[in-house]
Chains A and B, each alone.
Chain A
Amino acid sequence: MNFFESIKIAAASLWARKTRSALSILGIVVGILTVASLLSVALGVKQKVTTSIESLGSNLVAVVPGKIEKGGTPNFFAQLGASTLTEQDYDAIREAAPEAKNVAMAMLVTGTVRAGDTSLNSAIIFAASPGIEQAFNVRREEGRFLDTVDETQRAHTVVLGAIAAKQLFPAGSALNKTIDIRGEGFTVVGVLEAVVSASGFGGPDVNSFVMMPLRTGWDLTGTKQVFRIMMQASDAESISVLADKVKQTLLGTHRGEEDFSVLTQEDLLGFVNNIFDILTAMLSAIAAISLFVGGIGIMNIMLVSVSERTREIGIRKAVGATRGAILLQFLVESVMLTFLGGIIAIALFIAGIPIAKARVPSLPIELNVQVLLLALGFSALVGIIFGIVPAYRASQKHPIEALRAE
């Protein structure tokens, strides 16, 4: 008996027990649907974050306080507390690496932003030296960027991110309006274009920015904190050279103590990949449990089927079926059940994507051929794993005892 023959027999057998077959694949449909959905969402989120990091700015090199081990997951706690970076570091970098473009330093200012009766708690008050906009690769919607005049005059001027501007001034343009930060008045001189957020991965959420000159920030807080030094390499090839030069320079200013990290976009993408590897592993584990439950259902139904069809097994053996032929027949039945479940699940998944996107527009779920093939492969694998024991039992039945079975 060849494989094609087994498929024909299995199909006929499953068709003869239509209702039971349909019910038994429900578990697999749910399992495969879970696998496809979770992996697609994980890949979608990863894609989104990767895109946002890539949009941070081309050839970006960032210095952050605290030591972050590359190749692992980022230790965000390393960046908490008082910054280890200083203005001297900034000056040292400018001197040692004149080829670095748009070198800028920045700090965070805590406080609430108000515009009349509207207050904004989610704003990121960012004090930065000129050049930060270019380093972040952001564009103006209206007005101007902060410049050296603002910086030297310690001006009370701000540039707002797109979301911050809209939240503070929902009725119209924010330009030339006055806002209040920590009791002091600031004039809005520019509004940024909305960008894809890269918050959480070394990149700030530019949309929520309320950006003031660095020295104004120092005055406002009474401290001279520097929590980021950003710059751009002249081209992609010189990123690592610049990063290394910056690192060596700062080791000099920090007396050999590496209490800072020089990050490139590649490093950030590496962090993202590591985080998503963990996330994918977790989601895979959840999906595996779901598939396991479905698989147990298949195993159960196949064991019942073998038990009910003992006489059929006896008849087949009496007319010349080998153990291998019986094993193959029941294994093919099991795989056919789960594979069919996989196909139904994928059809439902594909049909469900537009519905899910319509209901939750921000859901980053994408149709990914690799995920679909993986899901189909898993469905077949579940059929083999959970079908092998019933199939083996069937194949081992003694022909006479099988024939005498009721």
Chain B
Amino acid sequence: MRVAVLKGGRSLERAVSLSSGARVEDALARLGHEVFGIDVGPNAAAELAESAPEVAFIALHGREGEDGMIQELCNCLAIPYTGSDPSACQRCFDKALAKHLLQAGGVSTPPFFAFSEGAVQRLGLAGALPRVEALLGLPLVVKPAAQGSALGVKFVHDAQQLPQAIVGALSYDRKFLLERYIAGRELAVSVIADQGGRPHALPVVEVVAGPDAYNFESRYNPGLVDLSCPADLPAAVAARAQALALRCFELLGCHGFARVDMILERDGAELWVLEVNAVPGLTPTSLLPVAAEAAGIGFDQLVARILASAFNRGARTAAPSLAGS
């Protein structure tokens, strides 16, 4: 098959995407496909139209890649593409929207408020910050609503730091979240569909990070964080995390693959979902390939399954039955 790997782009996660894309291209070539990469830029629409691939493998992170835009472009050009459709991408990419939808679906997500730059400038948000602090408590987490890889995320320990942290988050997106800080273990559960389009939750990965939490740098440098997979968890907790990931996948309407990031609260009682990534990283240090590996799915096989997701959209007609729920 002629496969275009869409990578790079103009988001802050360009380097990550180039790394994901290069690995995917190698795997697809090994699988016998005719592969070419497209570094997505201002001519992406023309390049896609002219090269007319049979399928587009989206290895594009961040803006234009995870926000549904490249997917919409593929729809428009009638090119099948991997992963979630534009609407699911938008729901995942906007962390505020995702959290509202998850909450409405009964999923625990840390209490939060989401505001825009407009709310700061035109609604006098400053006057409500003491209330936010009172309700969420300190420390709290400030993060851009739409930005991956932990860029722009700040932990605020002192109310004085809050305005700066908000301005920092607004450097990455026009919306930001103020979220209660939940101390606990950082888990990620990746979900991957089988050839028939049925989603499966992969073994839980635990991220054991240094004192600076899991920042951009540690995320992409082997050895800076310890990944443990399957995570050392009681079987019931691991099963609960996996069921929760499937529930999130379903609630946000994801397709093909996704990664759900969550926190297991320190007392072990509660799992809090932080976000869902519609185009999770596929770099050598990314969590999805590690989880797939632990489940006996090698990288080439993983890529093959993601590729298949381009062709079984809508194939999943049976009502989902959430195991264990």
A and B: bona fide binding partners: no
Interface residue ranges, A against B (CB under 8 Å): none
